[in-house]
Amino acid sequence: MHPPIVDQVIDFYQELFRLVFSDPFRPQIVDRIKRNAVIRQVEQSADAASQSLSRFFLNERLSEGQVADIFTCFSALCHLMRLDDIANVAPESLVEELLVKMPCSAAVKTANQEAVYRVAMHSVVQVLMLAGPVMAEWQKLNFSATFELLRRVSDRLNQISAQLECAGARRGGCCG
């Protein structure tokens, strides 16, 4: 039995944001209290990022197993993406590159979810490409407490939610 879809998405984004943002930031922040505060804000950003993909999967009426199959295919993504890698690349070209490195599995193909897989991959890449520059700016400001990271990231992530809802509506899966 698989965990609920929302839990799977949150766990995925927590791991992705930890590897792409938190882990590289840790050695740069000597003060433990400040480091913990930064990590908590990155975790909150990951939670905010999870909302749009969760809604997309739920609107597509995927089962917990189908979502687990997609995330199994995405497992390498956490190790392929770094903050420096997402700075100056167009999302579409990065998605195409990742789809070659991480094609959808036989289980995803059998369930006829290739299009959902592709949209989900695009969503994850967009999240990283929108959050990445904000995180890099915060890093340059030495993780200033006045930066309002969560608000900035959330504002950008709302753009993704709107795009996913429209993508689902075009496919006939949501926004009814």
Does residue 159 lie within any of the structural domains?
Answer: yes
Does residue 103 lie within any of the structural domains?
Answer: yes
Does residue 176 lie within any of the structural domains?
Answer: no
pTM confidence score: 0.86
Judged against a pLDDT cut of 80, whether residue 166 lies above it is answered with no
> What domain count does the chain have?
1
Judged against a pLDDT cut of 70, whether residue 175 lies above it is answered with no
Q: Give the structural domain span for 65.
A: 5-171
Determine the Cα–Cα distance for residues 50 and 42; give it in Å rounded to an integer.
Answer: 12
Determine the Cα–Cα distance for residues 169 and 60; give it in Å rounded to an integer.
Answer: 10
Does residue 87 lie within any of the structural domains?
Answer: yes
Judged against a pLDDT cut of 90, whether residue 68 lies above it is answered with yes
Spacing of C-alpha 64 from chain mean position: 18
pLDDT of residue 167: 58
157: closest CA among 81, 75, 53?
53
Does residue 12 lie within any of the structural domains?
Answer: yes
Per-residue pLDDT reduced to its tens digit, 4-42:
999 999 999 999 999 999 999 999 999 999 999 999 999
17, 23, 28, 30 alpha-carbon torsion, rounded to 10°? 110
When pLDDT is averaged across residues 126-133 and rounded to a whole number, the result is 87
Residue 83 pLDDT level (bands cut at 50, 70, 90)? confident
What percentage of residues in the chain have a pLDDT greater than 70? 88
83, 85, 90, 95 alpha-carbon torsion, rounded to 10°? -100
Instruction: Determine which of 44-48, 64-68, 94-98 has the lowest per-residue pLDDT on average.
Output: 94-98
